Amino acid sequence: MEMIQIVGLGLIAAILSLMMKEQKPIFAFLIAAFAGITIFLFLIGKIGTVLETLEELAAASGVQNVYLKTILKIIGIAYIAEFGAQIVRDAGQDSIASKIELAGKVLIIVLAVPIIGIIIETVVKLLPA
Amino acid sequence: MTWLGEWLKQIIFVVLLSSFIEMLLPNRSMERYVKMVLSLLVLMTLLNPILKLFSGNPVEKLQQAIEEQLNPKGSTRSGLEQILKQGELLRQSSLEDSLKWTGNEAAQQMKTQIEAATGLDVDRVAVTLKLEKAEAGTNSGSKAGTNADQQDADTQQYDRPVISGVKVYLNPAEAEAVMASPEEKAGQEPDANQSASAITVPKVQQVQVGIGRIEIEAAPVAAEAPEVTQNSAADDPSDGTVNGSKAEEDESAAAAPESEETRKIRSLLESSWDIEDNKIRIYQLQNEASP
């Protein structure tokens, strides 16, 4: 049922923005952005339950919380960067969209820096000085 | 073997989760980066037992580093704590200073008052101050000068300095001159002779004064916590200001016998300073030259 709602919302937004594109392109962009944000917010509630289950599973299997947190942050960054980039790309600003993607990539790599640091430290300790 | 089971569980979970997330990824452009981080995580999980062997707790370190990166407020929190600690130290030292100063002033005033009222030559007056807690106000009140009680005092909102003991030292020459009757004079000399054998007794009393706020006898813990004692130190500045050095004085000072003058001093201190009678100690300094 929810899927039908989302698809309906998307179809209506697409038709509206097509109609608007002739007269006012800026409103067409606004409609597209609004539809995207609405669907995104709609999904946040659903994601919450999934994340709770994942956290419970992680606690049960004895995985450190840090790993799960890192992984979830990666997904979050990837999705938000993708979403923003697509909206901007719809508006015809490809260069800004690629900057947003770059920012997402950099932030993902930043999450990896502490892990890399610890691994390298361990390797250095393992090797005889 | 439990660690092996845990380790395997962790590896399985992390691998499953990372493949799940690769599926979730929105498009190809992010894939390489995300894959790298995920594979690093799997590597960390694999290395976890070795990491445990070498450094204390890698997970904690990682957590700290990530927290610091994501919210830099965390780093300022420790700085704030440090500043608060320094402020606390400053407060304690100023509290000690003000207690010392108060003790000095009170001792000086008491000395002049006693001299004016009784005409006795007072060698010095020692005032022992302590902080009384605003809420409790019991024997467990904090003592100035020791660290432990300062921490106690931290939990209190308002601490009030209270005079917990007064020691009056009378100069021998004047005292003898004032004592008119030869009987009293004669009565005092045995005291002077006794003082050699009774050294230990005043010692005990003095230590008890240090803590016994109301009931002197019921203070066996006295030796644990010496208080800051301030002498007016008019004639003899080299005299000890802490109870620990009082032992030397005991050789030359014995508790003065009850007489008109001591009673006068007691009533004077009681009326003008509102000090309870059992907190006042009057000592007669023994003159080396006297027989």
Question: Which pLDDT tens digit goes with each residue over B54-75?
Answer: 666 667 777 888 888 777 765 5
- The per-residue pLDDT for B138 is 44
Give the mean pLDDT of B129-156: 51
Q: Are residues B117 and B258 in the same domain?
A: yes
% of chain B surpassing 70 pLDDT? 54
Domain with B43, as residue range(s), is 2-70
A78 and B34 within 8 Å at the Cβ level: the answer is: yes
Give the mean pLDDT of B186-211: 42
- The per-residue pLDDT for B272 is 78
Q: Are residues A72 and A106 in the same domain?
A: yes
For β-strands B280-285 and B159-170, DSSP reports them as parallel
Q: Are residues B266 and B186 in the same domain?
A: yes
Residue of B nearest to A67 (CA): B41
B132 pairs with which residues across the strands? B160
Query: HSE-up of A101 (CA within 13 Å, CB side)?
Result: 20
A125 and B54 within 8 Å at the Cβ level: the answer is: yes
Domain with A124, as residue range(s), is 64-129
Task: Show which residues on chain A lie within 8 Å of chain B, measured between beta carbons.
Answer: 54, 57-58, 61-71, 73-75, 78-79, 81-83, 101, 104-105, 108-119, 121-122, 125-126
B8 neighbourhood in chain A, CB within 8 Å:
none
pLDDT in tens, B6-54: 888 888 888 888 888 788 777 777 788 888 888 888 888 888 887 777 6
Tell me which of A51-55, B9-13, B188-192 is least confident: B188-192
CA–CA distance, B14 with A93 (Å, rounded to integer): 38
- The per-residue pLDDT for B279 is 75
A114 and B62 within 8 Å at the Cβ level: the answer is: yes
Question: CA of A16 to nearest chain B CA: how many angstroms apart?
Answer: 25
Question: CA of B47 to nearest chain A CA: how many angstroms apart?
Answer: 8
Interface test with A, best of B23, B25, B44, B59 (most A CBs within 10 A): B44
B27 in contact with A, Cβ within 8 Å: yes
Q: Are residues B140 and B51 in the same domain?
A: no
Q: Are residues B66 and B108 in the same domain?
A: no
Residue A95 has pLDDT above 90, yes or no: yes
Residue A100 has pLDDT above 70, yes or no: yes
* Overall number of domains in chain A: 2
Question: CA of A39 to nearest chain B CA: how many angstroms apart?
Answer: 15
Q: Are residues B208 and B281 in the same domain?
A: yes
Q: Are residues A57 and A106 in the same domain?
A: no
B69 and A110 within 8 Å at the Cβ level: the answer is: yes
DSSP letters spanning chain A: -HHHHHHHHHHHHHHHHHHHHHH-HHHHHHHHHHHHHHHHHHHHHHHHHHHHHHHHHHHHHT--HHHHHHHHHHHHHHHHHHHHHHHHHHTT-HHHHHHHHHHHHHHHHHHHHHHHHHHHHHHHHHS--
- The per-residue pLDDT for A71 is 82
- The per-residue pLDDT for A15 is 93
Give the mean pLDDT of B222-245: 43
ipTM exceeding the 0.90 mark: no
Q: Are residues B63 and B174 in the same domain?
A: no
B40 neighbourhood in chain A, CB within 8 Å:
112, 115-116, 119
B43 neighbourhood in chain A, CB within 8 Å:
119
Is B85 a domain residue?
A: no
pLDDT in tens, B131-142: 766 554 444 444
B13 in contact with A, Cβ within 8 Å: yes
B44 in contact with A, Cβ within 8 Å: yes
pLDDT band at residue B286 using 50, 70 and 90 as cut-offs: low
A119 and B43 within 8 Å at the Cβ level: the answer is: yes
B33 and A63 within 8 Å at the Cβ level: the answer is: no
B8 in contact with A, Cβ within 8 Å: no
* Overall number of domains in chain B: 2
pLDDT in tens, B67-122: 887 777 655 566 788 888 889 999 999 988 888 888 888 888 888 888 787 777 77
Q: Are residues A48 and A100 in the same domain?
A: no
- The per-residue pLDDT for B4 is 86
* A122 Cα distance to chain centroid: 32
- The per-residue pLDDT for B142 is 42
- The per-residue pLDDT for B90 is 92
Dihedral angle sign, alpha carbons of residues B259, B262, B266, B267: positive
Is B81 a domain residue?
A: no
- The per-residue pLDDT for A14 is 93
